[in-house]
Amino acid sequence: MVPTMGALHQGHASLFKIAHEHADVVVATIFVNPLQFNNSADFEKYPLQMDYDVQLLEEHGVHFLYAPTVDTMYDSGFSTSVSIDGITDLLEGASRPGHFSGVATVVTKLFFGRPTRCRCIWSKRFPAVRCHSTISRRSRHADSTHHGANYSRERWLGDV
Protein backbone atom coordinates (compact mmCIF):
# COMPACT_ATOMS: atom_id res chain seq x y z
CA MET A 1 0.00 0.00 0.00
CA VAL A 2 1.26 3.45 -0.92
CA PRO A 3 -0.52 6.13 1.14
CA THR A 4 -0.75 9.58 -0.42
CA MET A 5 -2.67 12.81 -0.10
CA GLY A 6 -3.12 13.02 -3.86
CA ALA A 7 -1.60 15.76 -6.02
CA LEU A 8 0.56 12.92 -7.31
CA HIS A 9 3.97 13.48 -8.91
CA GLN A 10 7.04 11.52 -9.98
CA GLY A 11 8.06 10.92 -6.36
CA HIS A 12 4.85 8.96 -5.90
CA ALA A 13 5.47 7.16 -9.20
CA SER A 14 8.78 5.88 -7.83
CA LEU A 15 6.94 4.48 -4.81
CA PHE A 16 4.48 2.66 -7.09
CA LYS A 17 7.44 1.11 -8.92
CA ILE A 18 8.97 -0.06 -5.65
CA ALA A 19 5.61 -1.44 -4.50
CA HIS A 20 5.38 -3.47 -7.74
CA GLU A 21 8.77 -4.97 -6.95
CA HIS A 22 7.50 -6.22 -3.58
CA ALA A 23 3.86 -7.12 -4.20
CA ASP A 24 1.62 -8.71 -6.80
CA VAL A 25 -1.12 -6.19 -6.11
CA VAL A 26 -0.47 -2.48 -5.59
CA VAL A 27 -2.92 -0.31 -3.68
CA ALA A 28 -2.71 3.47 -3.45
CA THR A 29 -4.63 5.65 -1.08
CA ILE A 30 -5.60 9.24 -1.60
CA PHE A 31 -6.76 10.96 1.54
CA VAL A 32 -6.21 14.58 2.46
CA ASN A 33 -5.98 14.23 6.20
CA PRO A 34 -7.35 17.21 8.14
CA LEU A 35 -5.49 16.08 11.28
CA GLN A 36 -2.18 16.92 9.59
CA PHE A 37 -3.08 20.58 9.21
CA ASN A 38 -2.96 22.95 12.17
CA ASN A 39 -4.44 25.65 9.92
CA SER A 40 -7.83 24.80 8.43
CA ALA A 41 -7.22 27.30 5.59
CA ASP A 42 -4.24 25.20 4.45
CA PHE A 43 -6.42 22.09 4.49
CA GLU A 44 -9.09 23.83 2.40
CA LYS A 45 -6.47 25.02 -0.13
CA TYR A 46 -4.81 21.63 -0.59
CA PRO A 47 -4.91 20.78 -4.32
CA LEU A 48 -7.41 18.13 -5.37
CA GLN A 49 -6.82 16.71 -8.83
CA MET A 50 -8.50 13.30 -8.74
CA ASP A 51 -8.85 12.85 -12.51
CA TYR A 52 -5.14 13.50 -13.04
CA ASP A 53 -4.23 11.30 -10.07
CA VAL A 54 -6.36 8.41 -11.37
CA GLN A 55 -4.67 8.72 -14.77
CA LEU A 56 -1.24 8.60 -13.12
CA LEU A 57 -2.25 5.56 -11.05
CA GLU A 58 -3.42 3.77 -14.19
CA GLU A 59 -0.23 4.64 -16.07
CA HIS A 60 1.80 3.10 -13.24
CA GLY A 61 -0.23 -0.08 -12.98
CA VAL A 62 -1.79 0.56 -9.58
CA HIS A 63 -4.49 -2.08 -9.09
CA PHE A 64 -6.63 -0.46 -6.41
CA LEU A 65 -7.38 3.04 -5.20
CA TYR A 66 -8.78 3.64 -1.75
CA ALA A 67 -9.92 7.27 -1.52
CA PRO A 68 -12.06 7.59 1.60
CA THR A 69 -13.90 10.70 2.69
CA VAL A 70 -13.11 12.46 5.95
CA ASP A 71 -16.37 11.06 7.37
CA THR A 72 -15.27 7.53 6.44
CA MET A 73 -11.91 7.88 8.15
CA TYR A 74 -13.15 9.82 11.17
CA ASP A 75 -16.77 8.91 11.78
CA SER A 76 -18.83 10.37 14.58
CA GLY A 77 -17.52 7.73 17.01
CA PHE A 78 -13.86 8.44 16.25
CA SER A 79 -11.94 8.98 19.47
CA THR A 80 -8.50 7.40 19.06
CA SER A 81 -5.32 9.12 17.97
CA VAL A 82 -1.66 8.19 17.83
CA SER A 83 1.02 10.45 19.23
CA ILE A 84 4.77 10.18 18.93
CA ASP A 85 6.75 11.63 21.81
CA GLY A 86 9.99 13.42 21.07
CA ILE A 87 9.80 13.92 17.32
CA THR A 88 6.87 16.29 17.64
CA ASP A 89 9.22 19.02 18.85
CA LEU A 90 11.64 18.63 15.93
CA LEU A 91 11.57 19.47 12.23
CA GLU A 92 8.06 20.17 11.02
CA GLY A 93 6.65 19.26 14.40
CA ALA A 94 8.05 22.43 15.93
CA SER A 95 6.17 24.70 13.52
CA ARG A 96 3.16 22.49 12.84
CA PRO A 97 1.61 21.37 16.12
CA GLY A 98 -0.35 18.16 15.71
CA HIS A 99 1.18 17.32 12.32
CA PHE A 100 3.00 14.15 13.33
CA SER A 101 0.10 12.96 15.45
CA GLY A 102 -2.18 13.44 12.44
CA VAL A 103 0.20 11.52 10.18
CA ALA A 104 0.65 8.70 12.70
CA THR A 105 -3.11 8.43 13.26
CA VAL A 106 -4.06 8.23 9.59
CA VAL A 107 -1.23 5.87 8.67
CA THR A 108 -2.25 3.57 11.51
CA LYS A 109 -5.87 3.64 10.34
CA LEU A 110 -4.91 3.03 6.70
CA PHE A 111 -2.42 0.23 7.37
CA PHE A 112 -4.21 -1.60 10.12
CA GLY A 113 -7.79 -0.87 9.14
CA ARG A 114 -7.37 -2.58 5.76
CA PRO A 115 -5.57 -5.84 4.93
CA THR A 116 -2.42 -5.30 2.87
CA ARG A 117 0.70 -7.24 2.00
CA CYS A 118 3.19 -4.45 1.31
CA ARG A 119 3.43 -0.93 2.69
CA CYS A 120 5.75 1.64 1.10
CA ILE A 121 6.39 4.93 2.83
CA TRP A 122 8.51 7.88 1.79
CA SER A 123 9.19 11.01 3.76
CA LYS A 124 10.57 14.34 2.57
CA ARG A 125 12.40 14.70 5.87
CA PHE A 126 13.72 11.14 6.04
CA PRO A 127 14.21 10.20 2.37
CA ALA A 128 14.44 6.47 2.74
CA VAL A 129 11.79 4.21 1.31
CA ARG A 130 10.73 1.49 3.66
CA CYS A 131 8.72 -1.47 2.40
CA HIS A 132 7.21 -3.80 4.94
CA SER A 133 5.61 -7.09 4.02
CA THR A 134 2.95 -8.64 6.18
CA ILE A 135 0.96 -11.82 5.93
CA SER A 136 -2.74 -11.16 5.57
CA ARG A 137 -5.61 -12.27 3.43
CA ARG A 138 -5.91 -10.59 0.05
CA SER A 139 -8.85 -8.23 -0.06
CA ARG A 140 -10.43 -7.45 -3.39
CA HIS A 141 -12.55 -4.62 -1.98
CA ALA A 142 -11.61 -1.00 -2.33
CA ASP A 143 -13.77 1.97 -1.56
CA SER A 144 -13.12 4.47 -4.27
CA THR A 145 -15.38 7.42 -3.75
CA HIS A 146 -13.89 10.86 -3.34
CA HIS A 147 -15.87 14.08 -3.13
CA GLY A 148 -18.87 12.52 -4.85
CA ALA A 149 -16.95 11.11 -7.81
CA ASN A 150 -17.39 7.37 -8.18
CA TYR A 151 -14.61 5.25 -9.58
CA SER A 152 -15.96 1.75 -10.00
CA ARG A 153 -14.18 -1.22 -8.44
CA GLU A 154 -14.02 -2.89 -11.84
CA ARG A 155 -11.75 -0.11 -13.05
CA TRP A 156 -9.19 -1.10 -10.43
CA LEU A 157 -9.57 -4.88 -10.41
CA GLY A 158 -8.00 -5.22 -13.86
CA ASP A 159 -6.02 -8.46 -14.14
CA VAL A 160 -5.91 -9.15 -10.39
Nearest one of 75, 77, 71, 74 to 147, comparing CA atoms: 71
CA angle 119, 76, 73 (to 5 degrees): 15
Contact predicate 55/13, CB 8 Å: no
Work out the mean pLDDT of the chain and round it to a whole number: 75
Please give the CATH number for the structural domain made up of 2-154: 3.40.50.620
- Looking at residue 88, its pLDDT comes to 73
Catalytic residues: 12
Give the mean pLDDT of 8-36: 93
Q: For the chain, give every domain's residue range.
A: 2-154
Closest CA to 9 of 43, 46, 60: 60
**Of the ranges 38-52, 129-143, 145-159, the best mean pLDDT one:** 38-52
Nearest Cα residue to 19 out of 10, 28, 9, 11: 28
In this prediction, residues 38-55 reach a mean pLDDT of 93
pLDDT number for residue 96: 84
Answer whether 0.95 is exceeded by the pTM: no
Residue with more model confidence, 27 or 137: 27
**Dist. CA 31–CA 35, nearest whole Å:** 11
Count Cβ atoms within 10 A of the Cβ of residue 65 and give its class: 0-12 exposed, 13-18 middle, 19 or more buried: buried
Residue 83 has what pLDDT?
85
Other C-beta atoms lying within 10 Å of the C-beta of residue 104: 18
Dist. CA 6–CA 132, nearest whole Å: 22
Sign of the Cα pseudo-torsion (95, 146, 14, 142, in order): positive
Q: How far apart are CA 129 and CA 13, in angstroms?
A: 13
For residue 78, name the pLDDT band (cuts at 50, 70, 90). confident
